[in-house]
Chains A and B, each alone.
Chain A
Amino acid sequence: MHDIALKIQEAHPKGFISAHEAFGELSVTVDRNEIVNVCRFVLEDASLDFDMLTDLCSVDFPNEVLRFEVIYQLYSLEKNHRLRLKSRVPEEDCNIDSVVELWRSANFMEREVYDMMGISFNNHPDLRRIMMTEDYDEGYPLRKDFPVEGRGWRDNFENLSDDPG
């Protein structure tokens, strides 16, 4: 197993679930209840030093029990290495702890995940929709069960192909 993954496992045996390496990139899957602790560890540990949260996004797997996956792309300026942390979130209890206290860049990115995928972030300072309007009620656009053409008023569009005349 990769050194970084070993260190995380050693420090947080409760939070560590699995590690996977492919294309020269390391992914570590973490329990969602431990996400903030693991993030704090990789940020503060001097040998890891992941001081930049490059990206935070989510993926929807509608057929799996733990439906959503929140993905953190981390980068260390000093050590020039990258790490991908992942955490699964179930649909019925759709929330995960916020990491804004560690990286302030997470503020907007968590808002986007909330807006697009409907995962809420506990302890987030300002959890509102960001891309869609605040009164948008057609659901969460990036979920796999959301139609590409959209919902709501678009359903009433006349479909030209249905009417050959």
Chain B
Amino acid sequence: MQDSVVGLDHYGDDDADIELVDGKPKKRVEDLLLNMGPQHPSTHGVLRIVLEMEGEIIVKATPYLGYLHRGVEKLAENSTYSQIIPLTDRLDYTASMTNNYAFVRSVEKLLQVEIPERAEYVRTIVAEMQRLAGHLFWLGTQSLDIGAMTVFFYTFREREALLDLFELLCGARLTMSYFRVGGVDRDITQEIVDRLYQFLETFPEKIDEYNTLLETNRIWMSRTRDIAVISAKDAVNFGLTGPALRGSGVNYDVRKAEPYGAYDKVEWEVPLGKNGDTYDRYWIRVEEMRQSAKIIKQCLDQLPEGRIAADVPSLTYPPRDKVETDMESLIHHFMIATEGFEVPEGEVYCGTEAPKGELGFYILSQGGNKPYRLRIRPPSFIHMGAFEHMAKGYMIADIVTIFGTYDIVMGECDR
């Protein structure tokens, strides 16, 4: 490690030669280097930050990443396209649905495959449910970090209801792997639709409930207002996306700029902040939850009948009941599961709006069933690049707020 990080030269035989001024020891001023993490409950994973302090003011904050690096990009080069879907679950493990979505969308762009309308609606619904779950998770942990513990129990109550629905839908609660190239794994059942309607009926009141806990809380307000301010120009220059960018008032949402799924068929708005501080980003996420609820409701109302996966036998599995009774279908299923499918030569970049920002996949294919190069553009990693800029000049007590305000998940940051 670097010498400057350890900072051992601050210690030594200081006692030996204390300088005296008017008979009293001279006031000694020195910079303090403070190591935070990698094990710290508010780092949302394992992140290490070295803080250079002047009193209580942060002069410099250097993040040290890589504690959760698993080499997903390298693994992906040696996996078939369908084997990569479970890998993407483990990037941002609080929002695996949108990770799957971002990945399959880029493969579909390469394959130029048409997705059935029902599948598009189901995808939009689960992606927005995931956004709700992700934002609820964020709101709970952010307020917990700041010291408002009660909100955590409230938001996790609603998140639990959503995770139950995910379990009903695909059997998993966290690492879903629900998406398939060309569609989704299972159809949404009437029971899920009914329970989702029920959930949406009471959800806006629940958001009001969180607001009463926070907006009247003087500590919450003073710890979020004017903390970690970033101007619109800097936010764009640092490549921030998602609520972190919109908090500064920049209107960029991939769902509006390059619509996909059913987003252009429903009515919703992009909430924008003004000041670019932690409070604005909090407000945006809360508003986005209201918008997501609106999107889900409209999608459920409009939900068309039809297939949930494209009718392309080379890509999509045959129906489950046929696999269990029909030899040809079993072989068909086996071939796709073991050998994957051929993807033509080419390169695409495809960005998708994940709860944390623009999650992009750049895929370079040279033909065959595996990508030649797969690059993940993780919003958390790019937001981490602006961390030093954002933390400078604030108090040490604000550092956990500044982590939290980006909604960083280290699984995605380190990959």
Would you give the shortest CB distance from B344 to chain A, in whole angstroms?
A: 10
CB distance A103 to B74 under 8 Å?
Answer: no
Residues of A within 8 A of B375 (CB): 55, 57, 71
Q: Which residues of B contact A (CB under 8 A)?
A: 1-2, 65-66, 69, 71, 73-75, 78, 109-110, 112, 234, 236-239, 250, 252, 257-258, 346-349, 351, 358, 360, 362, 364, 372-373, 375, 377, 381-382, 384-386, 389, 414-415
For window 59-101 of A, CB contacts with B under 8 Å fall at 59-60, 71, 73, 77, 80, 82, 84
Residues of B within 8 A of A55 (CB): 349, 360, 362, 375, 377
CB distance A130 to B362 under 8 Å?
Answer: no
Q: Tally chain A residues at the interface, Cβ within 8 Å.
A: 35
CB distance A25 to B74 under 8 Å?
Answer: no
* Minimal Cβ-Cβ distance residue in A for B69: A131
Residues of A within 8 A of B346 (CB): 22-23
* Minimal Cβ-Cβ distance residue in A for B239: A105
Question: In the assembly, what is the distance between CA of A51 and CA of B252, in Å?
Answer: 12
CB distance A23 to B109 under 8 Å?
Answer: yes
Residues of B within 8 A of A4 (CB): none
* Minimal Cβ-Cβ distance residue in B for A136: B66
Residues of A within 8 A of B385 (CB): 104-105, 107-109
A-B contact pairs, 8 of them (CB 8 A): A73-B360, A84-B347, A104-B234, A104-B386, A105-B386, A109-B382, A131-B65, A148-B74
Residues of A within 8 A of B250 (CB): 77
Answer whether residue A133 sits at the interface, using C-beta atoms and an 8 A cutoff: yes
Q: Contacts A109-B382, A131-B414: A54 and B360 contacting too (C-beta < 8 A)?
A: yes
Question: In the assembly, what is the distance between CA of A107 and CA of B387, in Å?
Answer: 12
Residues of B within 8 A of A25 (CB): 347-349
Q: Which residues of A contact B (CB under 8 A)?
A: 22-23, 25, 27, 51-55, 57, 59-60, 71, 73, 77, 80, 82, 84, 103-105, 107-109, 112, 116, 130-134, 141-142, 146, 148
9 shortest interchain CB distances as A-B pairs = A105-B239, A108-B385, A131-B66, A57-B375, A55-B377, A131-B69, A59-B373, A105-B238, A23-B348
CB distance B377 to A132 under 8 Å?
Answer: no
Our count of residue pairs bridging A and B at CB distance below 8 angstroms stands at: 93
- Of A53, A54, A132, which contacts B69 at CB under 8 A? A132
Question: In the assembly, what is the distance between CA of A114 and CA of B215, in Å?
Answer: 45
Residues of A within 8 A of B2 (CB): 134
CB distance A82 to B384 under 8 Å?
Answer: no
- Of B74, B347, B360, B384, which contacts A141 at CB under 8 A? B74
Question: In the assembly, what is the distance between CA of A7 and CA of B381, in Å?
Answer: 32
Question: In the assembly, what is the distance between CA of A40 and CA of B73, in Å?
Answer: 30
- Of B66, B236, B364, B382, which contacts A132 at CB under 8 A? B66
Question: In the assembly, what is the distance between CA of A60 and CA of B77, in Å?
Answer: 12
- 15 additional A-B pairs beyond A77-B236, A104-B234, A105-B239, beta carbons within 8 Å, are A23-B110, A25-B349, A52-B236, A54-B351, A55-B349, A57-B362, A73-B377, A108-B384, A112-B381, A130-B66, A131-B414, A131-B415, A133-B66, A134-B1, A148-B75
CB distance A77 to B252 under 8 Å?
Answer: yes
Residues of A within 8 A of B234 (CB): 104
Would you give the shortest CB distance from A61 to chain B, in whole angstroms?
A: 9
Question: In the assembly, what is the distance between CA of A77 and CA of B109, in Å?
Answer: 22
Residues of A within 8 A of B372 (CB): 59
Question: In the assembly, what is the distance between CA of A42 and CA of B209, in Å?
Answer: 48
- Of B73, B74, B362, B389, which contacts A73 at CB under 8 A? B362
* Minimal Cβ-Cβ distance residue in B for A143: B74
